[in-house]
Amino acid sequence: MIAATAIVHRNVRLGRNVTVEDFCIIGAPFPGGETEETVIGDGAVIRSHTVIYAGNTIGRNFATGNKANIRERNTIGDDVSIGTLSIVEHHVTIEDGVRIHSGVFVPEYSILKRGCWLGPGTVITNARFPLHPDAKKTLQGAIIEEDAKVGAHCTLLPGVRIGRGALVGAGSLVSRDVPAGQIAYGHPAGPRRPIDY
């Protein structure tokens, strides 16, 4: 079902049983990519006021909250959920089963691996030297490994890696890698103990 108020551009290929709610824009053109195809798999539910730019490849059972913004040229797997008011910039890889909660910011060149979870209000950064003339040449997103969980309102600095199955406590500032299977928290976050569940 596509709402009458939604805009679905001609470069969009929708799967079966896709719902596009009111005031969404799907396949929004961007400079230099006006004709790039957007593919959205079967069973997607795209909630009102969401904007998805051209050049995205999105798998089955995709869901957004209201007013999600997904920029161009991302690869998004199956069973991915992106919450209300979250922003995913361009050239991001999101694997199967990832949950991005509400109000999350995911910048360019981030990699979110299978089954990871980002809590509400989490911000990933990717510019080591913002406003530097060469800042765009050194952008580096975070890597969140399989089944890692990042608690609410965390900030991840450029290039950090959250190890497989790790848990980052709410409100943490992550300035260095978190080892696999560890609980880490604080300012800056550091590993505190192994996960024992």
* pLDDT over 90, % of the chain: 91
Express each pLDDT in 28-60 by its tens digit: 999 998 889 999 999 999 999 999 999 999 999
Q: What local confidence, expressed as pLDDT, does residue 134 receive?
A: 87
- Secondary structure string (H, E, C) spanning 23-45: CCEEEECCCCCCCCCEEECCCCE
Residue that wins the pLDDT comparison between 23 and 137: 23
Query: In the chain, what are the domains?
Result: 1-91 (2.160.10.10), 120-197 (2.160.10.10)
pLDDT band at 197 (very low <50, low <70, confident <90, very high): low
State pTM to two decimals.
0.96
What pLDDT score was predicted for residue 33? 86
